Each structure stands twice: as structure tokens, then as C-alpha cells.
């Protein structure tokens, strides 16, 4: 690495990044790689808006008195945090950025099957996001991200309808992306790229796309029903009008539990790639890992009732949902065991992507195991709606998905930008994120177990020490999240130009120049080997 600005290389001059310099060339592009970059900017923006709301929550919880935000202000802040982080960061984060960029490259295609639909999905996402920002400016919404009835349909005073319309719109972006991925993977694979040669990243995105297409319409319908009841008094969920409030929870969680897997399945795909790359070995039990993604997608649809154990749901239904929830741990466990077996006797290099992958595995296992605890009926009654639940899902979604997002960013950054970053900063970031995350969320397990309810900002003073620890951890986490923006942007100007395959790994995306040309490949490749055909010859690396 040198301090001197490194001028544009010949490869960069003919890359997708230079295929048109005007703003119009970006805003009207149908190149999947450029749309991925557009998504990267957009999701990063929303990540920081959602992060700012989280910061307000953590500042408020430093003291037990509720002396920073009003009751109403606190409700609106955590709702905003949830809505933005779930629908405008976590769901599109990996699929719409890295999935968009990498799937055509990984399967040897020139683009996605429907390039214009791909651009449309970005604009629809932005429309939904803009409406959410309007909700923020107009005073927010106070129902929690779950919009439970009858609070949302009869009593809430915030901008419920506008918020549901925003999410309704964003849902169509998800559906279009899922549809695009499914058709692309079915129809645009290069000659020789059989299903058994697909990288596991592609398998996990295929499973994610199935959920996107099958579950998101249910959310759209459910939110439309809330609006119908709120605006026109049609009795869907209101018992006095002949409705059933629990029906809302059933419909909402029929989407929202699989949505957890929309958030984490792409992350599992990223980690499969990072582990194989770090160990320089084929993934142990390829078919088990591939089909475990499909199994998670399917079984994930059968478990939603575990969110309703204390809602008044029938005890018999709860027992069924409890059993099914325990069953979904099996394919998740298969993945973790197979990653571990892949690392066994591997030539492991402690590069930043591998550190993020290890961080993911640790946090995912911990979050997953506490998920099993929550799936058990008797224990759930004790810890339901406490910070134990908050800690559990943050271990999966933040500890898991966000770690994988940063892992992917550090792994494919040289491919996306054509420049290498300073590795030591990447390693430090991975370590800071791991430490900051655990300091933030581990105390929340203890808080929840001791009885601290979620969504309360005035609490018993005995909980304050743990809340202060959590807020300190959040500060460290915030700094760690900002850190990559310094050295990654620095690398764009001063970073060493990257060879096609800087990590010395397998995969069609590493056979193209870094950054790739607009058409991805001069000639569509013919695939003759499996996805993790190690060892890679040294001359292939450079």
C-alpha cells in the first residue's frame, strides 16, 4: 500500500464502473452490477437512519427514569428503528447488493433474467423508503414494527396507514427481486453449470427467493386489511365487528417468521463461501448444505405460532408450533457442523472475511440456541416479551446477518471496486464488531431473564448496570460500523489495484477482471468442475 494516489488502470477503464460517467447512466442502468451499487448506497443510508434511532433508544435506557424521550417519543423511536432495519436494511441488505452483483457472475451469465425489472425494484424500494421518511418527518408511528391489532387498527394515533403503505410498496421490490433470481438461476446458467456445481451462495439465494415470492404477498394483504379496517371500519380483526385480533398475528407472522430467514439465509450463503475460501477446501457435505437452505425455507413457514404462545392461541396449536420450531434447528445445525468440518485440516488464513465468518458462526450458534429455548412453551411463558427475546433476535439478525454483510463487503470489495484495502483495519473492525456486539446484547439476555420487559423505557433501577453496559457496547459497535467507511473509501483512491483473484479461491466471479467489464465475460464460460475445486493453481490467482 502506498500513500500516493494510484491512477485508473487499463482494466478499470473498460470496467462496468466506467461504462458511462453521467448520473443518467447510473439512474437508468440495467447492469446488475451498477444496480447492486445503487442498492448498496440506499441500504447503507437506511442502516444509518435505523442506527440513529437505536442510538436514541440506548441513550434513553442509560437511566431508569425515562428522562430523555417522552413515552410517546420512545414508542415512535423503537418502531422507526424496527421498521427501517427490517424492511429497508436487513431484508434487501445481502440479496439486493451482493446477490444482485454476484449471482450472474457466479453462474456465468451476462445479467439477471429481467434487467429492467431489476432497476424497477430499486425504484420501488426507494418509493417505499421515501414514504417511510415522510412518516418519520410527519411524527412517526407508535405501534412497534409488528403493527399488532387492535392497537394499530383502532387506537394508535400515529401515521399507521402511511407506514403500512410504505411497507406494502417495498414488498413489491422484494417480490420482483425474488422472481428475478429464481428465473435467472433456472434459465441463465452457463453450459456445464449444473445444479450440483452452483456455489452455495446461489443455493441460499434461491431458497431466499422462494420465501420472498411466497410470503411477501401475505404481508401486503395483511397490511391492506389493517388499512381497510382503520379507514373504512370493515371488521377483519376487531371483535366488535365480528373480526379476530389473533387472525392478524397469524397472518403477520406467516410472513414475518419466514422473513427472518429472508434476512439470514443469504448470510448463511455468504458464510459458506467465506469458510471454503478461508480453508481452501471443498465445503464438507455440499448437498447437505445446499438442501439445508431449502429445508430452512420450507420448515420456516411452519413455525410462526411460536410468536403467539401467550396471545391466547390454542394450547394444542402451540404444542404443534413448538415441535415444528425445534425442527427448524436441524438444517441450521447441519450448516454449522459442515462449516466446522470444512475448516478441519484446512489451510486457514486469518483474513478479515474469515474473521467476520467466525464471528457470524459464534453469534449465530448462540442466537440459534437461545431460539430453541424460546421455542419451548413453558420457558417462553417466562421470558416472552422480555429483553431475552430482543437479545435472541439481535444475535441472529445483527450478530449474524450484519456480520455476514461486512464479511461479504470485505471479501468481494476488490472484485466490486478493483482496489484492495488495508487488511489490518479489516481485522480490527471484525474484532471490534464482535466485542461491541456482545457487550451490547449479552447483558440483554440477563435483563430479560431477570424480568426486564421489552418496549419499556422506565424500569426498575436494579436493571441499570446491565443497561449501561449495553449502551456502552452500542457505542463501541457504532464506531466499529463506521470504521470500514474510512479505509474502504480510502482504498478507492489509494488502494492497490486488485488482480482478478486476490484471495486465490474458486468461483467464476474470480475469473473475470477486477472490476468486471460491463458484459461480465468476454465469452460465456463452460463449466467443467465443481464449485470448490481446490487447490487453486498459483497462476490462476493473479
Partner 1 sequence: MARAQILQAILIWVLLLILLSLTVGASFLPLGRMNPVVSMGIALIKASLIFWFYMQLKKERGLVRLAALGAGAWLLILFLLVSSDVVTRGSF
> Which residues here bind partner 1, judged by CB under 8 A?
186, 214, 218, 244, 246-247, 250-251, 254, 301-302, 304-305, 308, 312-317, 320-321
Only one residue has cell 476488490, namely 414
Between 186 and 347, whose beta carbon lies closer to partner 1? 186
CB neighbour list of residue 132: distance below 8 Å, 6 or more residues apart: 83, 84, 87, 88, 163, 166, 167, 170
In a 10 Å sphere around its CB, with 0-12 CB exposed, 13-18 middle and 19+ buried, how is residue 248 labelled? Answer: buried
- Closest approach, Cβ 524 to partner 1, in A, equals 23
What is the DSSP code string of 152-202? IIII--S-HHHHHHHHHHHHHHHHHHHHHHHHHHHH-PPTT--GGGS-HHH
Radius of gyration of the chain (CA): 23
| Measured distance CA(446)–CA(466) in Å, rounded | 8
- Closest approach, Cβ 156 to partner 1, in A, equals 24
- Closest approach, Cβ 218 to partner 1, in A, equals 7
- Closest approach, Cβ 288 to partner 1, in A, equals 23
DSSP state of 345: T
Between 259 and 536, whose beta carbon lies closer to partner 1? 259
- Closest approach, Cβ 130 to partner 1, in A, equals 31
- Closest approach, Cβ 219 to partner 1, in A, equals 12
Between 257 and 467, whose beta carbon lies closer to partner 1? 257
Between 1 and 317, whose beta carbon lies closer to partner 1? 317
- Closest approach, Cβ 251 to partner 1, in A, equals 8
Between 258 and 500, whose beta carbon lies closer to partner 1? 258
C-alpha cell at 251: 397472518
Give the alpha-carbon dihedral of 305, 308, 312, 317, to 10 degrees.
20
133, 135, 155: which is closest to 143 by C-alpha?
Answer: 155
What are the angstrom distances between the C-alpha of 417 and each of 11, 95, 321, 525? 11, 18, 46, 22
- Closest approach, Cβ 300 to partner 1, in A, equals 11
- Closest approach, Cβ 209 to partner 1, in A, equals 12
Give the alpha-carbon dihedral of 90, 283, 422, 13, to 10 degrees.
-80
101, 412 Cβ separation under 8 angstroms: yes
**Residues β-bridged to residue 386:** 453
Between 122 and 252, whose beta carbon lies closer to partner 1? 252
Between 226 and 480, whose beta carbon lies closer to partner 1? 226
C-alpha cell at 62: 442509560
Between 316 and 344, whose beta carbon lies closer to partner 1? 316
DSSP 3-state helix, strand, coil percentages of the chain (rounded to 5)? 70, 0, 25
Phi then psi for 15, rounded to 5 degrees?
Answer: -85, 175
Other beta carbons less than 10 A from residue 232's beta carbon: 7
Between 314 and 462, whose beta carbon lies closer to partner 1? 314
Between 49 and 193, whose beta carbon lies closer to partner 1? 193
Distance from the Cα of residue 157 to its chain's centroid: 30
- Closest approach, Cβ 176 to partner 1, in A, equals 16
Amino acid at each position: 500500500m502506498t500513500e500516493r494516489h494510484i491512477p485508473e488502470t487499463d482494466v478499470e477503464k473498460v470496467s462496468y464502473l466506467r461504462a458511462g460517467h453521467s448520473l443518467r447512466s447510473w439512474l437508468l442502468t440495467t447492469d446488475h452490477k451498477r444496480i447492486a451499487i445503487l442498492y448498496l448506497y440506499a441500504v447503507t443510508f437506511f442502516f444509518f437512519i435505523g442506527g440513529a434511532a437505536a442510538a436514541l433508544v440506548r441513550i434513553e435506557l442509560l437511566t431508569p427514569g425515562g428522562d430523555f424521550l417522552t413515552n410517546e417519543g420512545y414508542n415512535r423511536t423503537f418502531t422507526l428503528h424496527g421498521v427501517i432495519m427490517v424492511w429497508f436494511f436487513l431484508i434487501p441488505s445481502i440479496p439486493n447488493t451482493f446477490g444482485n452483483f454476484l449471482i450472474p457472475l457466479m453462474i456465468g451469465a451476462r445479467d439477471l433474467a429481467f434487467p429492467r425489472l431489476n432497476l424497477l425494484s430499486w425504484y420501488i424500494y426507494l418509493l417505499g423508503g421515501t414514504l417511510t421518511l415522510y412518516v418519520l418527518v410527519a411524527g412517526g408511528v407508535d405501534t412497534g414494527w409488528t403493527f399488532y391489532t387492535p392497537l394499530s387498527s383502532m387506537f394508535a394515533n400515529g401515521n399507521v396507514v402511511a407506514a403500512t403503505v410504505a411497507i406494502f410498496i417495498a414488498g413489491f421490490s422484494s417480490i420482483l427481486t425474488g422472481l428475478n433470481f429464481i428465473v435467472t438461476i433456472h434459465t441463465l446458467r452457463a453450459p456445464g453449470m449444473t445444479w450440483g456445481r452452483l456455489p452455495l451462495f446461489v443455493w441460499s439465494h434461491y431458497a431466499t427467493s422462494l420465501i420472498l415470492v411466497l410470503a411477501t404477498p401475505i404481508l401486503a394483504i395483511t397490511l391492506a386489511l389493517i388499512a381497510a379496517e382503520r379507514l373504512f371500519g370493515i371488521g377483519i380483526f376487531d371483535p366488535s365487528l365480528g373480526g379476530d385480533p389473533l387472525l392478524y398475528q397469524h397472518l403477520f407472522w406467516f410472513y414475518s417468521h419466514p422473513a427472518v430467514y429472508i434476512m439470514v439465509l443469504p448470510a448463511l450463503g455468504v458464510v459458506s463461501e467465506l469458510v471454503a475460501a478461508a480453508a481452501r477446501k471443498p465445503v464438507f457435505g455440499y448437498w447437505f448444505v445446499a438442501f439445508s437452505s431449502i429445508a430452512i425455507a420450507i420448515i420456516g413457514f411452519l413455525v410462526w405460532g411460536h410468536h403467539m404462545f401467550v396471545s391466547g392461541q390454542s394450547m394444542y396449536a402451540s404444542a404443534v408450533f413448538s415441535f415444528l420450531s425445534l425442527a427448524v434447528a436441524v438444517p441450521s445445525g447441519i450448516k454449522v457442523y459442515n462449516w466446522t468440518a470444512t475448516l478441519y485440516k484446512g489451510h486457514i488464513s486469518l483474513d478479515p472475511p474469515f474473521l467476520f465468518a467466525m464471528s457470524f458462526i459464534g453469534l449465530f450458534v448462540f442466537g440459534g440456541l437461545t431460539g430453541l429455548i424460546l421455542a419451548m412453551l413453558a420457558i417462553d411463558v417466562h421470558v416472552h416479551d422480555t429483553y431475552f427475546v430482543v437479545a435472541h433476535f439481535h444475535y441472529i439478525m445483527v450478530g449474524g446477518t450484519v456480520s455476514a454483510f461486512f464479511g461479504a463487503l470485505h471479501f468481494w470489495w476488490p472484485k466490486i471496486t478493483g482496489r484492495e484495502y488495508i487488511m489490518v483495519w479489516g481485522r480490527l473492525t471484525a474484532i471490534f464488531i464482535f466485542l461491541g456486539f456482545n457487550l451490547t446484547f449479552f447483558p440483554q439476555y440477563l435483563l430479560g431473564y431477570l424480568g426486564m420487559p421489552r418496549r419499556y423505557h422506565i424500569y426498575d433501577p436494579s436493571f441499570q448496570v446491565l443497561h449501561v453496559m449495553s449502551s456502552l457496547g452500542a457505542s463501541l459497535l457504532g464506531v466499529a460500523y463506521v470504521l470500514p467507511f474510512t479505509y474502504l473509501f480510502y482504498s478507492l483512491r489509494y488502494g492497490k489495484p486488485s488482480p482478478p483473484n486476490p484471495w486465490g479461491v474458486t468461483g467464476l466471479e474470480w475469473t473475470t477482471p477486477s472490476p468486471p467489464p460491463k458484459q461480465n465475460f468476454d465469452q460465456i464460460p463452460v463449466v467443467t468442475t465443481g464449485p470448490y475445486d481446490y487447490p487453486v493453481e498459483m497462476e490462476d490467482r493473479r
